[in-house]
Amino acid sequence: MGVLFSTANPSASVSQDLDQLEETAKKCDQLWFDDGNVIILAGGTLFRIHRGILAAHSAVFQDILSAPRLEEPAIMDDCPFVQLPDDARDVEEFLKVYYVPGYLDFLTARLPLSVCGILRMSQKYGSLTCRRLVVRKLNVSIPTTFSQASMTFGLWQDLSYIPPGPSSCTFGYERSLLSCVIATASQCHIRAFLPSLFYMLGPLEVQSSETLDGQDSGCTAATAHICMAGWARLMQDFREIALASFIGNTSPCSRCDSRKLLCLRNPKNRKTFFGAPFQPLFLKPHALIRELPGLCDRCAAAMEKDIEQANEHVWHDLPVYFGLPRWDILLAELAEILRET
Ligand SMILES: [Zn+2]
């Protein structure tokens, strides 16, 4: 435990240091309670909070703040004083989960960076409740089932599709943010979110060679390589299955076969099936195929079915493309994290 915190021995010099600290360190207004009974210092910020609240939610804090450890503690403002090696923002976000009613509800709409800090803190300090609450929220915005993926990625395509920029990916997230969430989810053993996160991060990584060595992409070379390799394989699978309908393999029809080939010449469709940048998948067939000029009902239906099948296939293998275990294993892990104890 020694590396996690320090409670200095009380001595004249320590009291002096603390006096000085009280002058220089910044108090976190939102997390400074006059009736608090422990003061925490993290990265130059002071928090005056309640031992009982922390101890109730975290086995590690319970130990750090236990009576024997604080028997002869450093004292500041008549409170025992504990220094944590963590980032001040991480500590602040983590504490807000317990102190600000409904705080996690703010985090649902998009993926804020603070989520990573809260997850890291809850992992490090053994706060299973906090981890469960955050994962439950993330589970709404990060698809782990095919129907969720169709809905989520389809919605983005229809309503808020943002073309990739120098630092943002296809879905409008900053690449550095997604990269951080990927690293945190791996570190905190929440692997069920990784396939969709890699999928969301992926398309841009293959466009620009500068991202190969991790420069300016805000993501590590290892992550970039996993994305590139995974995306190459998933697009290959998708195209192989979906193209079958265009070249008349699944529904040969003397009237439509030449029209199907013409339809492939539509520039948007050509991009989807032959070129980079890669296109978002898991969309309804009509959102993916831009032009079906006068095909007979049977051919149009067969084509939609093939594309939906290609989507399902890619979703089924999504974890494997990115070097992860299959969905059943990942979903069992997720269920275990979400299980009330
Ligand atoms: Zn036909």
Question: Using one digit for the tens of pLDDT, what is the confidence trace for 177-188?
Answer: 888 889 899 999
What CATH number is attached to the domain comprising 68? 3.30.710
Q: What amino acid is encoded at 5 in this protein?
A: F
Same domain, 68 and 174: no
pLDDT at 45: 94
Helices (H), the chain: 12-24, 51-57, 59-64, 88-99, 114-124, 128-141, 146-159, 175-187, 194-205, 221-246, 257-264, 267-273, 285-288, 297-321, 327-338
Q: How far is the CA of 247 from the centre of ligand 1 (A)?
A: 12
pLDDT at 297: 85
Is 47 in contact with 77 (CB distance < 8 Å)? Answer: no
Give the mean pLDDT of 51-55.
Answer: 89
Question: Using one digit for the tens of pLDDT, what is the confidence trace for 214-252?
Answer: 444 456 777 888 888 898 899 889 888 888 877 877 778
Q: What amino acid is encoded at 192 in this protein?
A: A
Give the mean pLDDT of 146-164.
Answer: 70
Same domain, 65 and 163: no
Give the mean pLDDT of 11-39.
Answer: 78
Is 259 in contact with 298 (CB distance < 8 Å)? Answer: no
Q: How far is the CA of 146 from the centre of ligand 1 (A)?
A: 29
* Residue whose tokens read 């928090």: 47
Q: How far is the CA of 251 from the centre of ligand 1 (A)?
A: 7
340 token code pair: 């009330």
Question: Using one digit for the tens of pLDDT, what is the confidence trace for 94-132?
Answer: 999 999 888 888 766 566 778 888 999 999 999 988 899
Q: How far is the CA of 260 from the centre of ligand 1 (A)?
A: 9
pLDDT at 299: 84
Q: How confident is the model at residue 12 (pLDDT cuts 50, 70, 90)?
A: very low
Angle, CA 72 vertex, CA 68 and CA 77 arms, to 5°? 120
Measured CA to CA in angstroms, residue 333 lies from 12, 133, 324, 329, 338 at distances of 51, 15, 13, 6, 9
Q: How far is the CA of 272 from the centre of ligand 1 (A)?
A: 22
* Residue whose tokens read 């992860």: 324
Same domain, 211 and 341: yes
Q: How confident is the model at residue 315 (pLDDT cuts 50, 70, 90)?
A: very high
Secondary structure of 81-106 as H, E, C letters? EEEECCCHHHHHHHHHHHHCCCHHHH
Could you give the 3-state DSSP secondary structure of residue 45?
strand
In a domain, 249, yes or no: yes
What is the percent of the chain with per-residue pLDDT over 90, rounded to a whole number?
28
With 80 as the cut, is the pLDDT of residue 208 above it? no
Among 27, 56, 86, identify where a domain stops: 86
Q: How far is the CA of 243 from the centre of ligand 1 (A)?
A: 15
Same domain, 169 and 72: no
Measured CA to CA in angstroms, residue 276 lies from 163, 280, 322 at distances of 14, 11, 19
Q: How confident is the model at residue 2 (pLDDT cuts 50, 70, 90)?
A: very low
In a domain, 119, yes or no: no
- Please state, in angstroms and rounded to a whole number, the distance separating the CA atoms of residues 230 and 252: 32
* Residue whose tokens read 């299959």: 326
Is 206 in contact with 224 (CB distance < 8 Å)? Answer: no
In a domain, 213, yes or no: yes
Same domain, 67 and 204: no
- Please state, in angstroms and rounded to a whole number, the distance separating the CA atoms of residues 87 and 109: 25
pLDDT at 87: 92
Among 86, 113, 144, identify where a domain stops: 86
pLDDT at 94: 92
pLDDT at 214: 41
In a domain, 114, yes or no: no
With 90 as the cut, is the pLDDT of residue 192 above it? yes
pLDDT at 157: 60
The DSSP line for 164-231 is --SSB-TTS-BHHHHHHHHHHHHHTT-GGGHHHHHHHHHHHHTT-GGGGGTTTTSS-HHHHHHHHHHH
Between 336 and 245, name the one with better pLDDT.
Answer: 336
Between 286 and 146, name the one with better pLDDT.
Answer: 146
Question: Using one digit for the tens of pLDDT, what is the confidence trace for 68-96?
Answer: 555 566 666 778 888 899 999 999 999 99
Among 38, 61, 86, identify where a domain stops: 86
Between 322 and 115, name the one with better pLDDT.
Answer: 322
In a domain, 98, yes or no: no
pLDDT at 206: 42
**Are β-strands 79-84 and 38-42 bridged in parallel, bridged antiparallel, or unpaired?**
parallel
Neighbouring-strand partners of residue 82:
40
Q: Which residues of 78-100 are buried (b: 16+ CB within 10 A; e: fewer)?
A: ebbbbbbebebebbbbbbbbbbe
pLDDT at 122: 93
Tell me what the pLDDT averaged over the chain comes to: 79
Q: How far is the CA of 295 from the centre of ligand 1 (A)?
A: 6
Give the mean pLDDT of 2-28.
Answer: 60
* Residue whose tokens read 């804020």: 112
With 60 as the cut, is the pLDDT of residue 20 above it? yes
In a domain, 101, yes or no: no
Q: How far is the CA of 312 from the centre of ligand 1 (A)?
A: 24
Q: How far is the CA of 298 from the centre of ligand 1 (A)?
A: 6
Same domain, 159 and 19: no
Q: How far is the CA of 307 from the centre of ligand 1 (A)?
A: 16
Q: How far is the CA of 203 from the centre of ligand 1 (A)?
A: 33
With 90 as the cut, is the pLDDT of residue 30 above it? yes
- Domain count of the chain? 2
Same domain, 157 and 31: no
Q: How far is the CA of 255 from the centre of ligand 1 (A)?
A: 6
In a domain, 96, yes or no: no
Range of the structural domain that residue 267 is part of = 153-341
Nearest to 199 by CA among 236, 234, 167: 234
Q: How far is the CA of 296 from the centre of ligand 1 (A)?
A: 4
Q: How far is the CA of 241 from the centre of ligand 1 (A)?
A: 18
